[in-house]
A and B are shown apart, each in its own frame.
Chain A
Amino acid sequence: MPVDSVWPIAGAEGVARAFEDAAGRLETVDGELTFDLSGVRKVDVAGLRAMSALAAKAADGKVKIALKGVNVDVYKALKLVGLTTAFLFPV
């Protein structure tokens, strides 16, 4: 997987799928992994769990995970489960 590749995600359902997929291939990633959540209005339980699992897997810091286009409602949901420190939020 190339550095700085951006994974666009559409809809709440797509979040879990994308993050689970990324978790399965995390070892192949070098550098930073970016997800574009600008198409996501809200995140569901499965999505949050997948994000949490990926964050745990990337906790060693070898791969930085960046979330682009996160709306403030989703950001607050991440804050409520303590996940905002696990990701980068590029402006």
Chain B
Amino acid sequence: MADHAPLSEDRIAYLEGLVSQARTAAAVFSQYTQDDVDRIVKPMVLAGLEQAQYLASLAIEETRLGVLEDKAIKNMVATEFVYNYVKDKRTVGVINEFPERGILEIAEPIGVIFSVLPVTNPTSTALFKCIMAIKTRNTAIFGPHPRAAKCCAEAVRIMYETAVKNGAPEGVFTCLDTPTIEDNRYLMHHKDVRLIDATGGPGAVKAAYSSGKPAMGVGAGNTPVYLEKSADVDMAVVDIITSKTFDNGTICASEQTVVIDDGIYDATLEKFAELGAHICNPEEAAILSQTVIDPETGFMRPIAVGQAAATIAQYIGLKVKPGTKLLIAPIAGVGRGHPLSVEKLFPVLAVYRARSREEAFKTCVDVNHLGGIGHTAVVFSSNEEVIRKFGEVMNAGRIIVNSPGSIGALGGVYNDMVPTFSFGCGTGGGNSTMDNVNIYHYLNVKRVARRTQAHMWFRVPNQIYFNMNAIENIRQFPSRSTMIITNPPLERLGHVDTVRRYLPPDTAVHVLVIPDAEPEAKVVREGVEALNAYKVDQIIALGGGSVIDAAKIMKLQYEAPSADLEELAAPFLDIRKRVVQYPTEKVHHARLIAAATTSGTGSEVTPFAVLIDKEAGRKITLADYSLTPDVAIVDPQFVMTMPKGLTADTGIDCLVHALEAGVSIHSSPYTEANAMQAIRLTFRYLPTAYAQPDNVEARSMMHNAACIAALAFSNASVGVNHALAHAFGARFGVPHGRANALMLPHVIAYNASVPSKFMPSPNQRAYVAHKKYALIADLLGLGGETVEEKVNHLIAAVEALLDRLDVPRSIADLGIAREEFQQALPGLAKVAFDDPSWRSNPRMPLATELVELFERAWHGRRAGGQ
């Protein structure tokens, strides 16, 4: 290909005609069905098989490379073996279905492909690519190597005529008549050529990749072979000779340097000699390296490519036995100083004696990286460890084990790889693929992805005991050593004695009294020490959220001492896909029984725990279902003495849990049932529990409501109300329930209006928050005709409830100065936005909307005016 002259107008018109014809054919082909295509492919394959020898003789005559018989076999592999692979494959319409994933894969043809054909394997590559193109409904313009133009044109003609006769569109294939580099360049840059498939020398491959078009360029190799001492030497020698002499070594996957373990080196060379190889002495090897390798470039001389060993020997003046199949030259290293260590597409093989396995591997790596990255490597060994390690260190798309490199790499003969005549060499070889190029590289695969319903869950403690004296149920749990964790006020109230009374008599009981505050890291550490000291098998957490949270974390660290709390607190979006997993291997096992003494947090059934690390000045929030207590005790006797303020605050917390879980994007029929019941109980019993603290029924029902609400939000999470309350409460030191109350009416109104931004939510088919609020209004019997009316009635009912609990109704009511609030506002919005609570809110809050919600909470009530 020496022509660099600009293309003439006639030549451009010729090339444009080819592209136009191919484009029209591609458009027509796009309408074909799988049956249409398969009806064309089979006769093409049969025609190729029938003409295999004829095309081989044409190739030999024109290129003067290779061996007639081997070229005929290659033509047969390119047709029969490829057909065997493609015949049952779907390449039109739906080609794969994954119903369990809701995914369909649909084939889209590429269109016009410009395909470069090599001089070394011209007709077999042409046959192979014609079959691939038809099977995938593509059209192809072939650019053969100039020294193989005629045989390629004939192969393409046979394929074309058979294809059209059997229904393929006219113009489906064409072959350049007198190909030049300029032709290739023109076509590679043509707007209607959709893909370049360049099987050829480095120049063609580089041109393809430089065109800016999608391209598959597959190129040179330099196949190292490791002949390890455990190998079957007889088999290895036959395989290597078979492969290296196949078509006179023109397949670029053929063996180039054999690295032989010292212990079998001499015997291996003897076997090579016995089977027809000539082993060069140092002088002969020197002559060989100086003649078949160009000392200027360091590459093989084209004149030797595809020539027989005897021909080469004669050419360079080596005296060899008649019928010599292979010339073998020992080399002492790899690289420019050892000319025969490069690729040699003729039957000349370098051999290297390796004194150790390490040396053998390193030498193979050197050969692999001397122009053969990504291509092919071969290992002969019966040692699995050697084979695996060889696979790891070789950068080769095809690592052939105990079989011939060239024929092995073609696929389908010695192994189950995909049959091909184009070897992808990956990025190391400057290629877009490392595969054996096949029909799937000739397709755009579209994926139809159906909406899937994410798996949901409802995870709660194994056992929940409720109503007055439910604590009695702890007597059924056997324990040798039980730790009761509580706080000073509860101990003073005598609750510890109540619990102790119901433990089995043979249980050793220990009591750990911790401060009445959010648990600190130091407190948890001391608690774990106590658990270890008494080798406890049961923990009873008797308290509100803080005590139960502390007990959850102590249990975690007692059972899995290596648990890193900071790592476990890493953020996540979906608990099922979280990066950090909680420990499952445990050194101790302890049952956790949580007996709640407030009616709000629901910590006795939740998978959450909060820890304060004062030394580091931060709060660690843990969330995992493994933290959920094993047993929950919801016994109202422990809440009868709750102060009024605490009753109000915790009761509001319970209501917000239920309302937010109810409209959460993670809500389910399971959580909704619990949320609705908790809302109903709270509206009915919270005012009484607040006004009449001794009312057992009201206390009992509120205790149940808090637990039921927690069952809902443990599985559906909360929402933006909590994000706002967390930020505001932390900044101004306002109790959680009270902060929640300030936000609640505004958040309901906000969620009930049309969102400015929807939350991605595969489990919800429509925006339903406003309808759910209306449903709650119905459940509470609040009246109203329209959804809007019902939502307004719900807001009014919430405000009326808050009024009855005597909680501040606006931020202004808390006595916070307007100026201080305004200064804090940007920071509050930022902290609220960082809070994970809103990620299950039905509306995705914009930062400006968070500011607006805080402003509304400043001003206070919604229903009935200020």
On whether the beta carbons of A44 and B28 are closer than 8 Å, the reply is yes
Q: Which of B24, B30, B31 contacts A49 (CB 8 A)?
A: B24
Q: B27 on the interface (CB 8 Å rule)?
A: yes
CA distance A29 to B30 in the complex (A): 33
**Contact A80-B170, Cβ < 8 Å, known A43-B28, A48-B28, A74-B31:** no
Q: A73 on the interface (CB 8 Å rule)?
A: yes
On whether the beta carbons of A78 and B30 are closer than 8 Å, the reply is no
Q: Which of A73, A78, A80 contacts B26 (CB 8 A)?
A: A80
Q: B662 on the interface (CB 8 Å rule)?
A: no
On whether the beta carbons of B30 and A48 are closer than 8 Å, the reply is no
Using Cβ atoms and an 8 Å threshold, which residues of chain B touch A43? Answer: 28, 31
Q: B845 on the interface (CB 8 Å rule)?
A: no
Q: B169 on the interface (CB 8 Å rule)?
A: yes
CA distance A42 to B26 in the complex (A): 13
CA distance A49 to B24 in the complex (A): 8
Q: A45 on the interface (CB 8 Å rule)?
A: yes
Q: A63 on the interface (CB 8 Å rule)?
A: no
Which of chain A's residues 43-57 have a Cβ closer than 8 Å to chain B? 43-46, 48-49, 52
Nearest CB in chain A: distance from B148 CB, A: 29
CA distance A38 to B24 in the complex (A): 21
On whether the beta carbons of A81 and B24 are closer than 8 Å, the reply is yes
CA distance A46 to B28 in the complex (A): 10
Instruction: Considering the complex, give the chain A residue whose CB is closest to the CB of B36.
Output: A42
CA distance A49 to B169 in the complex (A): 12
Instruction: Considering the complex, give the chain A residue whose CB is closest to the CB of B112.
Output: A80
Nearest CB in chain B: distance from A84 CB, A: 11
Using Cβ atoms and an 8 Å threshold, which residues of chain B touch A46? Answer: 170
Using Cβ atoms and an 8 Å threshold, which residues of chain B touch A45? Answer: 24-25, 28, 169-171
Q: B111 on the interface (CB 8 Å rule)?
A: yes
Nearest CB in chain A: distance from B164 CB, A: 10
Using Cβ atoms and an 8 Å threshold, which residues of chain A touch B111? Answer: 80
Instruction: Considering the complex, give the chain B residue whose CB is closest to the CB of A83.
Output: B27
Q: A76 on the interface (CB 8 Å rule)?
A: yes
Nearest CB in chain B: distance from A87 CB, A: 14
Instruction: Considering the complex, give the chain A residue whose CB is closest to the CB of B164.
Output: A45
CA distance A54 to B230 in the complex (A): 74
Nearest CB in chain B: distance from A47 CB, A: 8
Using Cβ atoms and an 8 Å threshold, which residues of chain B touch A81? Answer: 23-24, 27
Encoded as 1 (CB less than 8 Å from any A CB) or 0, chain B from 1 to 43 comes to: 0000000000000000000000111111011100000000000
Q: A58 on the interface (CB 8 Å rule)?
A: no
On whether the beta carbons of B25 and A80 are closer than 8 Å, the reply is no
Q: A9 on the interface (CB 8 Å rule)?
A: no
**Contact A80-B169, Cβ < 8 Å, known A45-B24, A45-B25, A48-B24:** no
Q: A23 on the interface (CB 8 Å rule)?
A: no
CA distance A48 to B27 in the complex (A): 9
CA distance A74 to B26 in the complex (A): 12
Using Cβ atoms and an 8 Å threshold, which residues of chain A touch B27? Answer: 48, 77-78, 80-81
Encoded as 1 (CB less than 8 Å from any A CB) or 0, chain B from 688 to 715 comes to: 0000000000000000000000000000
Using Cβ atoms and an 8 Å threshold, which residues of chain A touch B31? Answer: 41-43, 73-74, 76-77
Using Cβ atoms and an 8 Å threshold, which residues of chain B touch A49? Answer: 24
CA distance A43 to B26 in the complex (A): 12
Using Cβ atoms and an 8 Å threshold, which residues of chain A touch B32? Answer: 42
Using Cβ atoms and an 8 Å threshold, which residues of chain A touch B28? Answer: 42-45, 48, 77
CA distance A76 to B32 in the complex (A): 12
Using Cβ atoms and an 8 Å threshold, which residues of chain A touch B30? Answer: 73, 76-77, 80
Using Cβ atoms and an 8 Å threshold, which residues of chain B touch A48? Answer: 24, 27-28
CA distance A73 to B28 in the complex (A): 9
Instruction: Considering the complex, give the chain A residue whose CB is closest to the CB of B21.
Output: A45
CA distance A73 to B25 in the complex (A): 14
CA distance A43 to B30 in the complex (A): 10
CA distance A52 to B23 in the complex (A): 12
Encoded as 1 (CB less than 8 Å from any B CB) or 0, chain A from 62 to 87 comes to: 00000000000110111011000000
Using Cβ atoms and an 8 Å threshold, which residues of chain B touch A80? Answer: 23, 26-27, 30, 111
Using Cβ atoms and an 8 Å threshold, which residues of chain A touch B169? Answer: 44-45
CA distance A42 to B171 in the complex (A): 17
Encoded as 1 (CB less than 8 Å from any A CB) or 0, chain B from 145 to 172 comes to: 0000000000000000000000001110
CA distance A70 to B31 in the complex (A): 13
CA distance A77 to B31 in the complex (A): 7
Point out which of A41, A78, A81 has the most chain B C-beta atoms below 10 A from its C-beta: A81
CA distance A78 to B28 in the complex (A): 9
Instruction: Considering the complex, give the chain A residue whose CB is closest to the CB of B26.
Output: A80
Instruction: Considering the complex, give the chain B residue whose CB is closest to the CB of A49.
Output: B24
Using Cβ atoms and an 8 Å threshold, which residues of chain A touch B170? Answer: 45-46
Using Cβ atoms and an 8 Å threshold, which residues of chain A touch B23? Answer: 80-81
Using Cβ atoms and an 8 Å threshold, which residues of chain B touch A42? Answer: 28, 31-32
Instruction: Considering the complex, give the chain B residue whose CB is closest to the CB of A79.
Output: B27
Nearest CB in chain A: distance from B32 CB, A: 8
Nearest CB in chain A: distance from B55 CB, A: 27
18 contacts between A and B (CB under 8 A): A41-B31, A42-B32, A45-B24, A45-B28, A45-B170, A45-B171, A48-B24, A49-B24, A73-B30, A76-B30, A77-B27, A78-B27, A80-B23, A80-B26, A80-B27, A80-B30, A81-B24, A81-B27
Known: A45-B24, A48-B27, A77-B30. 9 other contacts (CB 8 A): A44-B28, A45-B25, A45-B169, A45-B170, A48-B24, A76-B30, A80-B27, A81-B23, A81-B24
Question: Shortest 9 CB-CB distances between A and B: which pairs?
Answer: A80-B27, A42-B31, A77-B27, A45-B170, A81-B27, A73-B31, A45-B169, A48-B24, A45-B28
